[in-house]
């Protein structure tokens, strides 16, 4: 601890702190007019040495840095610079600077090579439209399988609709009543409704013909209603077949879209093995260089921590940031003088009360009434 104390108060630490603060000399002169004569780094170094106070905190191994100046901002700048210069000197200046420089240079070279390979890796991925190779290859493989499954379903739906469209289209030119209604009449509800209406009007017409002739008014009216229902049924059948054509065209469009998507995915996936091989080679080089960088950084740390041939430096670290402690201008002498003045005034007041309590002489009528407990009716002064 005594060695650290001497280092903290040494000129090399003050020199390093002065180098840090040399650009702040104009600001220091502006904050404290008494420092107008400070012009160079040497003047700043003498100022730092003159204001620095280092002490041990209690029985601990903690060094406390203090710096006193007229302006608190100057104190904060100086004590921070001195503390940092002490830590820097203790960690670096007592080590082998050539070994530190060598390992640091080698570490920088290896890091530059790693950065270059990372850039090359990014270029390879960017040229082929990848950002994360393994994730995207896995995603694209799943997407391709899903697209192929959707294409298969679309093809099945298309072929089913084409067969249905061809069958139903062949019935449009015939009797509307022969139009297939499907299982459980699962066609359009409107189509089923008019089919039922045609059956109803046919039954009514047949019932009317059992009573009336073909040329009778009731029979002609029933026939007209039947013809209207047949015409409406025919229109609904055409509309239903047209809706199938629209659905069929939509499915064909989706099928074409899926085919294009699958072709694109297959083309992209065909590049995957080559890209994966190139990226893997780069990754192997990067991993090797990272291992080398770890070794170099470990050696750099050992060199920085080594002191002498058989000695290690104890770790030194700053525990707290600089903070301000205001003191009365003039130092301890002014403080003691102020304390003596206050004590003297208090002692004088106490002595005055003591002497007053010991004085039993009578000075006026009030003293007579207080001491003798008798009323005073008149008094004669010396002038009378």
| DSSP for 311-376, written as a single string | -BPPP----S--------TT-HHHHHHHHHHHHHHHHHHHHHHHHHHH-----SHHHHHHHH----
Its sign, for the CA torsion 12, 16, 19, 22, is negative
Over residues 273-299, mean pLDDT:
82
Residue 329's pLDDT band, with cuts at 50, 70 and 90, is low
Give the pLDDT confidence score for residue 96 in this predicted structure: 56
Per the DSSP assignment, residues forming a β-bridge with 53 are 66
pTM of structure: 0.36
Integer angstrom CA distances of residue 250 from 122, 149, 161, 163, 357: 41, 18, 11, 16, 120
Q: What is the pLDDT of residues 144-184, one digit of tens each?
A: 778 888 888 888 888 888 888 888 888 888 888 887 776 54
Q: Which residue has the tokens 């059992």?
A: 210
């Amino acid at each position: 601890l005594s060695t650290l104390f001497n280092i903290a108060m040494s000129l090399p630490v003050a020199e390093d702190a002065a180098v840090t603060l040399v650009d702040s000399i104009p600001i220091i002169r502006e904050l404290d007019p008494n420092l107008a004569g400070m012009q160079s780094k040497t003047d700043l170094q003498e100022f730092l040495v003159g204001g620095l106070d280092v002490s041990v905190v209690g029985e601990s191994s903690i060094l406390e840095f203090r710096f006193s100046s007229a302006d608190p901002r100057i104190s904060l700048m100086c004590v921070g610079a001195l503390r940092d210069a002490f830590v820097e000197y203790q960690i670096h200046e007592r080590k082998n600077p050539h070994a530190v420089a060598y390992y640091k240079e080698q570490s920088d070279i290896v890091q530059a090579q790693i950065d270059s390979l990372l850039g090359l890796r990014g270029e390879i991925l960017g040229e082929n439209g990848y950002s994360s190779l393994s994730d995207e290859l896995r995603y694209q493989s799943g997407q391709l399988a899903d697209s192929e499954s959707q294409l298969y379903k679309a093809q099945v739906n298309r072929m089913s609709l084409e067969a249905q469209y061809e069958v139903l289209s062949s019935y449009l030119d015939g009797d509307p009543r022969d139009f297939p209604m499907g299982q459980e009449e699962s066609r359009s509800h409107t189509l089923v409704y008019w089919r039922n209406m045609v059956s109803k009007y046919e039954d009514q017409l047949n019932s009317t013909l059992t009573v009336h002739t073909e040329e009778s008014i009731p029979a002609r009216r029933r026939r007209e209603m039947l013809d209207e229902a047949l015409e409406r049924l025919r229109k609904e059948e055409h509309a239903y077949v047209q809706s199938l054509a629209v659905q069929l065209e939509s499915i064909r469009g989706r099928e074409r879209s899926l085919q294009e998507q699958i072709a694109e995915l297959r083309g992209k996936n065909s590049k995957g093995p080559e890209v994966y091989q190139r990226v893997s080679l780069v990754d192997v080089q990067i991993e090797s260089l990272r291992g080398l960088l770890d070794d170099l950084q470990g050696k750099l740390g050992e060199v920085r921590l080594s002191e002498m041939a058989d000695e290690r430096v104890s770790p030194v670290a700053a525990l707290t940031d600089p903070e301000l402690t205001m003191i009365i201008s003039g130092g301890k002498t002014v403080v003691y003088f102020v304390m003596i003045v206050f004590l003297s005034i208090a002692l004088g007041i106490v002595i005055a009360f003591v002497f007053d309590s010991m004085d039993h002489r009578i000075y006026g009528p009030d003293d007579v009434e207080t001491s003798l407990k008798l009323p005073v009716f008149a008094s004669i002064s010396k002038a009378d």
